[in-house]
Amino acid sequence: MKLYLRILRYIRPYWKPVSIGFFFTVTFVFFNAISVWVSADFVRELFTNDNTVQQQTADDSSREQWISSQLQSQRTYDKLKATISALLIQDDKKDTLRLVCIIIFVSFFFKNISNYLHRLFFYYTQMKIVVQLRNELQSKILRLPLSFFHKQHTGALTSIVFNDVHGIQTVLDSSFVKIFLSPLQVVTYLIVLILISWKLTLATFILIPVSGYIIVKIGQSMRRKSRRVLEQISMVVTTFQESISA
């Protein structure tokens, strides 16, 4: 957590592209949820045979009666689904299919556009952070006294400038976008799960501490191993540079 807080210090000067990227992250999560919901729920309802539909609607004589009964339900998910069904589902299944296809196309189109734009702005910020790190590191090394260079190996400094900063860039490549995307996805899917069934959602929270503990332990182990790898790379670079300079 401390590492991420230190990274936030470098994000602050680039709050404008980060804000734009966060906006497109929100739109990506929104259209992604819509595309999944419409594709899974309403397409299944379109291709359900009449007998199944009659059984699901408790032998109601018409679509309006079924929607009215769902609107009177106490479950928020049933009310929301019935409201959207009243807008999407038509008397003719061909018209419903045409409308659902348009919504799926529009949602997937804007989802992909939002995905591209939010990654574009975040990668721009990421590269700016890496450049700033290299500049600060070079400026710091140039201000160090000569006694420091007599005590430290040149290969170790070279390894820090190139390999360690490259390692930070690799970490940013894999996690910088997820810092903003994953929390929004978790919150959105959690809301959907609560709307569907709050009891099942509550049961899944039992597994969160166990899985979280395992993930934290694996992350700590990987950090220790990556630190040892960087130290070994530094030793290799130092040995090679001293060999060719001697």
| Helix and strand numbers, DSSP H then E, in the chain | 12, 0
Provide the Cα torsion 64, 66, 69, 71; round to 10°: -70
pLDDT of 19 higher than 50: yes
Query: Considering the chain, what is the average pLDDT of its residues?
Result: 74
* Range with top average pLDDT, 61-75, 77-91, 110-124, 206-220: 110-124
> Which pLDDT value is given to residue 42?
64
Residue 185 is encoded by which pair of tokens? 């996805």
Indicate the domain borders of the chain: 2-142+149-245
CB hemisphere CA count around 121 (13 angstroms): 20
> Which pLDDT value is given to residue 246?
56
> Which pLDDT value is given to residue 188?
80
> Which pLDDT value is given to residue 60?
45
Show Cβ contacts of residue 167 under 8 Å, excluding neighbours closer than 6 positions.
226, 230
Alpha-carbon span 11 to 13, nearest angstrom: 6
Residue bearing the bigger pLDDT, 206 or 13: 13
Alpha-carbon span 138 to 142, nearest angstrom: 6
Alpha-carbon span 156 to 158, nearest angstrom: 5
Instruction: Name the residue type at position 24.
Output: F
Residue 56 is encoded by which pair of tokens? 């699901």
Show Cβ contacts of residue 33 under 8 Å, excluding neighbours closer than 6 positions.
188, 189, 192
CB burial of residue 35 (10 Å; 0-12, 13-18, 19+): buried
The percent of residues in the chain predicted with pLDDT above 70, rounded, is 66
> Which pLDDT value is given to residue 23?
92
Closest CA to 158 of 244, 246, 225, 236: 236
Type and span of the H or E element at 69: helix 63-71
**167, 109 in Cβ contact below 8 A?**
no
pLDDT confidence bin for 30, thresholds 50/70/90 = confident
Summarised one tens digit per residue, pLDDT across range 76-117 is 666 666 666 666 666 677 777 787 788 888 888 999 999 899
CB hemisphere CA count around 13 (13 angstroms): 8
Summarised one tens digit per residue, pLDDT across range 167-185 is 777 777 767 777 777 788 8
